[in-house]
């Protein structure tokens, strides 16, 4: 599995990376980005190299382009390339915001499979990945 973690806090990126390694196994490739722009760049590089991400953990509050804007751009790229539902990258939105409007946008416009509010725990991650058959 190939995962992209998008989080502006270095501590949160490393914490989530370790949780994901524990839950998915040490052979999982995990890349990190600190902004929406960097996430979009890494997504495109992977796609063009034929090594697309299976899963993105996207924080909403990021410097510059926020996480939902980045996910909308990723979905536009997938649509332009006529990717099937199975080929699309799964997205889990992570946030400190308990905001119904943001959650609705995450699910409907960004096609997120899950919306996790912080604090993030290994139990939350394991439960969500298991629910969607990713582990």
Place of tokens 């991650």: 125
Q: Which of 27-41, 75-89, 101-115 has the lowest mean pLDDT?
A: 101-115
In this predicted structure, the answer to whether residue 26 has a pLDDT above a threshold of 90 is no
Domain hosting 58: range is 2-131
Q: 68: which 2 tokens?
A: 């939902």
The arithmetic mean of pLDDT across residues 89-103, rounded, is 87
pLDDT digits (tens, 9 = 90+) for 36-86: 999 999 999 999 999 999 999 999 999 999 999 999 999 999 999 999 999
Assess whether pLDDT exceeds 90 at residue 103. no
pLDDT of residue 66: 94
Rounded Cα distance, 124 and 15, in Å: 14
- Dump the DSSP string for 72-115: HHHHHHHHHTT--TTTSPEEEEEES---HHHHHHHHHTS--SEE
Please report the pLDDT score of residue 104 as a whole number.
Answer: 86
Under the banding of pLDDT at 50, 70 and 90, the label for residue 98 is confident
Q: What is the pLDDT of residues 4-13, one digit of tens each?
A: 999 999 999 9
End-to-end CA distance of the chain: 10
Q: What is the CATH number of the domain that holds 98?
A: 3.40.50.2300
Across residues 7-26, what is the average pLDDT? 94
Task: Report the domain count for the chain.
Answer: 1
**pLDDT range class, residue 110, cuts 50, 70, 90:** confident
pLDDT on residue 105: 84
Give per-residue pLDDT as tens, 114-127. Answer: 999 899 999 999 99
């Amino acid at each position: 599995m190939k995962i992209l973690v998008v989080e502006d806090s270095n501590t949160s990126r490393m914490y989530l990376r370790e949780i994901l390694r524990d839950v998915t196994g040490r052979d999982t490739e995990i890349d990190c980005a600190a902004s929406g722009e960097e996430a979009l760049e890494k997504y495109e590089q992977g796609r063009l190299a034929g090594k697309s991400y299976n899963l993105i953990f996207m924080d909403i509050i990021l410097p510059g382009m926020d996480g939902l804007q980045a996910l909308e751009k990723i979905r536009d790229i997938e649509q332009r390339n006529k990717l099937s539902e199975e080929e699309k990258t799964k997205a889990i939105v992570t946030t400190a915001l308990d905001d119904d409007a943001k959650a609705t946008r995450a699910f409907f416009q960004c096609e997120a499979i899950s919306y996790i509010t912080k604090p993030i725990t290994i139990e939350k991650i394991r439960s969500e990945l298991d629910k969607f058959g990713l582990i």
